[in-house]
Amino acid sequence: MNQEKTKNRLSQLWISLYGNLKHEMLHQFIDDLVLHEQFNESTANEEGWYKDAIVYSLYVDLFNDTFKGLTQKLEYLEGLGVNCLWLLPVLDSPMRDAGFDIRDYRSVRKSLLDLPTNAPEEEAERLFLQFLDAAHARNIKVIFDIAMNHVSEEHHWFQEARKGKDNPYYDYFIWSDNDRGYPEARLLFKGMCPSNWEKAGNQYFFHRFFEFQPDLNYRNPRVLIEMCQNLLYWVSQNVDGFRADAIPYLWKEEGTTCENLPQTHTIVQFFKTVLDFVRPNTLLLAEACQKPKEVVKYIGDGKECNAGYHFPLMPMIYKALALHTRQPIINTLNPAVTPSIAHESQWFTFLRCHDELSLERIYVSEEDRKLIHEQYCHTPHWDFRMGEGISARLAELMEHNADKIALAFSVMLSLPGTPILYYGDEFAKKNDEAYYQQQIQFTGKNDTRFLVRGKIDWDHVATLLSNPESTGYKVFTKLSAMIAVRKQFKAFGRGTLEWLEMTDEKEKPVDNVLSYARCFNEEKIIVLQNLSPDPVFIKAAILKNCAGKKDRLGKICPDRNEKNGIILSPWAYYWL
């Protein structure tokens, strides 16, 4: 976007939010923005790079202690097939919410760089750039989390704001004389926070997350400018993108749920316009835990985020495996549920992440929530938010069945979207009970999500991966093969989806086989998956030339039998 178009676009968005308030502030910001034009021309990322990405999500300290340790493991990640790292919170934080409580937007936590807290910022910056250079040398992109809705109560802005109404930072936050404002805003941390208001002195401040994370007040235009400048700082350091944490909540309005408001979309458009001008194809990834019809508003027309998580698809994969039926997945990806998005936009898909297996009623029915919870919450203390989630790793949820874990990966890796792997799931990492108990003591919160985090013991991993009989070895081997094939074909990240119906010997549809074609230009990959723990007989003309031959994953497809069909083994999958 050229200078004049950028200026006009930013001015339009500003006026829709603030009228003519502080217009001189906008003009100064635009003048500063123009200084980035040379950077823009020299560092633009390739268009749509995130569509072909294999994303690996990790906590630096839990993965391998420091950025130096992470750098030492880049060869391992490259070998797995990873070409994009999503760094879970790395910015300076008191760590009461795993780093989502940001204390300083311009500083990486010194401990992650093996530096004392009083080390010069210049040294910290140098070491972080050293890591980025090492990742980029292996063609691995790097994105990280940035919470735009709230800060830590230890952030300089809030420490100043609580001094009183005369402080210039007071209006960076939302204050009230009582705790009765925004009554329609749902409580996000039920069972852990009793209210969205917290008392500080004689007043209350508003927060959607924990009581130590005050929400920012985007009615104050200075907050918008400050946040843009934070993004610009990291783009100038060569970061490839940002996971925009909790963006549906940015704007608050009395008489509403304070979610997905028009002004929130305007703010996101402002961020995107700034990033597109400074460094085209910088990824802005929407963390909007909403129904697809709401999420597409953040990504659908290319004016806001480049991509967004498909939250509802994840629990429907688990439902499909629990009931051995393809219908939950087909229904979720139906255009009536998941509207189409612009060519340049993308869904991001996942099986597990740093949070719970989310069963929020905002996109999961009460019936589905109950079913999935009963099927997968194998022990009561995995429960999260009173039945609205399950805190367990993939291997635990699948009861350490390597074939079932691999099938789940096959579904995620072959459906439309960009896949995310959560650190450790590639070798069937278990829940970490010791880390969970440790974090309860540290934070004072019984947050079961800590079960799905925890450190990697690399000596133990080496033992697993050298033992062909271990679940870790089996999962790692199968997953590596799928990633290698996926990276050979643009059809997976960019292609169309065509559902294929398999039939039995009586020509009736076989509901427990999930099959589809992924097509892009001359590429066509047929994916065949048995969602059942039992052998399944299927007939299909499309399989005639595949029987008895190797699929793309190097597996021998079953031979046709006397009934002119094939029998799929339990949890079997083929990419043809």
Return the active site residues: 245, 287
Closest CA to 315 of 257, 414, 387, 208: 387
Residues 6+ apart with CB under 8 A from 301: 342, 345
Q: How far apart are CA 56 and CA 75, in angstroms?
A: 13
Q: Are 405 and 394 in contact (CB under 8 A)?
A: yes
- Tell me the helices (H) and strands (E) count for the chain, helix number first: 20, 22
In the chain the first and final C-alpha atoms are separated, in Å, by 42
506's CB contacts (< 8 A; 6+ apart) are none
Phi-psi region of 445 (alpha: psi -120 to 50; beta: other; left: phi over 0): beta
Q: Are 161 and 172 in contact (CB under 8 A)?
A: yes
Kindly list the distances between the CA atom of residue 367 and the CA atoms of 361, 372, 565, in Å, as whole numbers in the listed order.
10, 9, 36
**CA 395, CA 352: separation in Å to the nearest integer?**
10
In one-letter notation, the amino acid at residue 322 is A
How many C-beta atoms lie closer than 10 Å to residue 508's C-beta? 8
**555 DSSP assignment:** P
Range 110-126 burial, b when 16+ CB lie within 10 A, else e:
bebbebeeeeeeeebee
**Amino acid found at 388:** E
Q: What tokens does 370 get? A: 């109950």
Among candidates 32, 50, 494, 90, which has minimal Cα distance to 241? 50
The tokens of 505 are what? 């010997």
CA distance 105 to 174: 20
Distance between CA 81 and CA 59 in Å, rounded? Answer: 19
Phi and psi at residue 83, to the nearest 5°: -130, 15
The residue whose two tokens read 């939302």 is 174
Residues 6 or more apart whose Cβ sits within 8 Å of residue 137? none
| Single-letter amino acid, residue 443 | T
| Distances from the Cα of 108 to the Cα of 103, 104, 488, 523, angstroms | 10, 8, 35, 43
| Burial classification of residue 54, based on how many CB atoms lie within 10 Å of its CB (0-12 exposed, 13-18 middle, 19 or more buried) | buried
Report how far residue 450's alpha carbon sits from residue 346's, in angstroms, rounded to the nearest whole number: 29
515 neighbors 529 (Cβ within 8 angstroms)? yes
